[in-house]
Structure 1
Amino acid sequence: MSNWLLPEHLADILPAEARRIEELRRALLDLYRTYGFELVAPPLVEYLDSLLTGNGGDLGLRTCKLVDQLSGRTLGVRPDMTPQVARIDAHLLNREGVTRLCYCGSVLHARPADLLSDRELLQIGAELFGHAGVEADIEIIQLAFESVRRAGVEGARLDLSHPGVVHAIVQADEALAESAEELSVLLSNKDVPGLSELAARLPGLRPDSRKALLALPSLYGGPEVLQRARRELPGLPGIEAALGGLESLLCALPDHEFGIDLADVGSGYGYHSGVVFSIYAEGWHDALVKGGRYDGMGKSFGRARPATGFSLDLRKLSSGLPPPPLARAIRAPWGTEASLVRALQALRQAGEIVVQTLPGQAQRLDEFTVDRELVPDGDTWKVRAI
């Protein structure tokens, strides 16, 4: 095997693409600051028991593990930054009232989410802690939409779901308790034959639970899904609360195109507790943005807090955008004389890109177009078009 080959689903990012990713990072962090979000930077590696505290099993499966040479304890490379930010809010900042935090950093998955996904992501996101009302969800969704709009994405669509619907059905029927994980997978895949087979294996399953499980895969579409759900699902308080939360968002965000999928129980990480959303757009095979409410995650770190937020992968976002335009640059000769050095400094301080040509060397620039050159003009230097 060649020693320059990378592991599967890992890739180098070359100059023009790397520059665009960095510009997106700066633009989005600046955007979040205008909303009052403060930047935090959790470590790349933590003790495994801290990293996975209070989270679902899928997060553990995606975590790369290693042994700390100092303590002998098992470490994990973070596969998701949301739990780390929740720990910072609950344990380190320990503030009262609303806290808004944003972040950006690399995360690593032990296995890819699907055949087209990378294992290394550059995750950026925003989290709002301390407010349980729908107002926090509205702010987060609006900020998520503004994030993709700032990146140049057009025609973005919002998909909503609420794991409370499925949780209410499971909690109301003891026969489903031990099959909750299998049930979530079948519902997410809309596997009606599999759901029928599962219902047949559970002799104590209530008739209304069986009817609800077989109805859920078809409960997707536009806002009319909520009325269908009220007719076809049992009138459990948890279901009514979930449908009411979704309805409040629809009324508060009338200018967005919505899709609703009540069989979707949220991310496989298992920490969502309320409204879950995804943003899709043409040109990307999967959701661009994923987010939702995850109240109570901070309890594992000593303080339960209402929380909602979103994250996205900047590398994925950049990969679906049109090729970035080349930046204009100035070519300059090599030299150390004072007048040339002063001219170079003045141009660079003014924001110009100036590339000096080293003696006897040709160069290829992937992200610049050299359309001007710096030439001597008596005792000074001037820029002229090429």
Structure 2
Amino acid sequence: MLFWQCIVELFHFTFLIHFVSAMPNWLLPENIADVLPSEARKIEELRRAILDNFHLYGYELVMPPMLEYVESLLAGTGADMDLRTFKLIDQLSGRTMGIRADMTTQVARIDAHLLNRNSVTRLCYSGSVLQTRPNGLHATREPLQIGAEIYGHAGLEADAEIQELALSTLSLAGFSQVRMDLCHVGVLRALLESDPNAQRDEAALYTALRAKDVPTLEVMTAVYAPVTRAALLVLPTLYGNADVLQRARAVLPALTGITKALDELAILVGLAGKADVTIDLADLGGYQYESGTMFALYVPGLPNAVARGGRYDHVGETFGRARPATGFSLDLRELSRLLPVAGRKCAIHAPWGRDAALKEKIIALRQAGEIVIQSLPGSENDQDEFECDRVLVLENGNWILKNLG
């Protein structure tokens, strides 16, 4: 039996080696893809517009490294981020390093440890992140994350500014129909603080509430204080439009933390502008990471949230300096997929030549913002991104522009 088992395993190993060697060398890993010219231009133009908008609000651009030691990269992020992070051994130090799966912690480290300011600090960022698993069925494992953060202000004013900035970002991208889901971790935190039995089950309660698993909650809360049990069982039903807040005040205990959370949510609802607002007090995505209000933004054509944000005051503690913090981020590649295909750019066709007057004319046109494409000798231009609607021609010793077609 052992002999035949060895033969089978040897066959499987040989087949695997043959299969791998036969794979084309241009094949990419699952959920990893190249970005071709038209899509790349659409993403880049959107990135520039969003960063310029951040700049108008006073946000400073930072560029964290692609990888760093896992102790810093995963500080305060919880088990979920650990599972999503690719890890490798640094051949210089022998320590474990991680490729960033999210940039928020890195920016918090920059604020707490490198900038070390006492004043309010506004930072923004943009760059690729790499994740071990995709967030959705057709999602990439290499999102292009862009976001903004405010550090140093614990008041709701910072949360309101981040919410406004996130909504203006989607408006800038051309989305007029936006749904905003609001939640607040303070509701669950207040309930846990009021009941030691509930505190011991914090992680399991978080999972059951997110899944709205009422049967599991009924079993888990059997030994809790009656007030706590009733509140936890009603939380999964507290979702809907802004009227949910009034219903929550009536059915939840009047704990200080709960009252404060509901008051803050009411203010943010009033500042949502034209967005369609829903409240879900059991939607606790990022509960272990967040410390206050949380929001998720949805647009037509995408089942998952296109942007997420919220308050996370405790992340800086791991870097030796706790700072109030709130921010949001989104995936530019996913957002751009929802936008229409970008039209071709108008360009000018120019012949190849060493004529000084021709070179001067081309330089002047490019300095004026025109796209000028010179034909290389013996070659034809075949570019999907540009539509040459004008041409440079030599007439009477002068290079002039003529319209084509």
Normalising to structure 2: TM-score of the pair?
0.90
> How far, CA to CA, are the matches of 2:375 and 2:217 in structure 1?
67
- 1:226-265 equivalences under 5 Å are 226-253=245-272, 255-265=274-284
**Aligned 8 A contact 2:120 2:153 in 1:** yes
Change (3 A) 1:194 1:369: farther
The one-letter code of the counterpart of 1:232 is V
- 1:263-274 equivalences under 5 Å are 263-267=282-286, 270-274=288-292
1:214 and 2:236 aligned: no
The one-letter code of the counterpart of 2:315 is M
- 1:158-177 equivalences under 5 Å are 158-177=180-199
1:285 and 2:320 aligned: no
Aligned-partner SS, 2:330 = strand
Alpha-carbon displacement from aligned partner over 1:141-171 (angstroms, at most 9, x marks no partner): 1111111111111211221101121222233
- Where structure 2 has 5 or more consecutive residues not aligned to the other structure, the ranges are 1-22
The structure number with the bigger radius of gyration is 2
> How far, CA to CA, are the matches of 2:204 and 2:378 in structure 1?
66
- 1:75-90 equivalences under 5 Å are 75-90=97-112
Alpha-carbon displacement from aligned partner over 1:245-287 (angstroms, at most 9, x marks no partner): 112222344554311110011336x311000011111122211
Give the Å deviation of 1:86. Answer: 0.8
**Aligned 8 A contact 1:137 1:308 in 2:** yes
- RMSD, aligned α-carbons: 1.6
- 1:96-175 equivalences under 5 Å are 96-175=118-197
> How far, CA to CA, are the matches of 1:376 and 1:198 in structure 2?
84
Structure 2 counterpart of 1:312: 330
> How far, CA to CA, are the matches of 2:272 and 2:335 in structure 1?
24
Give the Å deviation of 1:314. Answer: 0.9
> How far, CA to CA, are the matches of 2:348 and 2:218 in structure 1?
68
1:349 and 2:371 aligned: no
Change (3 A) 1:145 1:252: closer
Aligned-partner SS, 1:312 = strand
Aligned-partner SS, 2:143 = strand
> How far, CA to CA, are the matches of 1:232 and 1:118 in structure 2?
42
1:328 and 2:346 aligned: yes
**Aligned 8 A contact 2:177 2:275 in 1:** no
> How far, CA to CA, are the matches of 2:49 and 2:203 in structure 1?
39
> How far, CA to CA, are the matches of 2:308 and 2:325 in structure 1?
14
> How far, CA to CA, are the matches of 2:401 and 2:216 in structure 1?
71
The one-letter code of the counterpart of 2:36 is L
**Aligned 8 A contact 2:63 2:126 in 1:** yes
Alpha-carbon displacement from aligned partner over 1:23-47 (angstroms, at most 9, x marks no partner): 1111111111111111111111010
Normalising to structure 1: TM-score of the pair?
0.95
Give the Å deviation of 1:197. Answer: 4.3
Identity of aligned pairs, percent?
Answer: 54
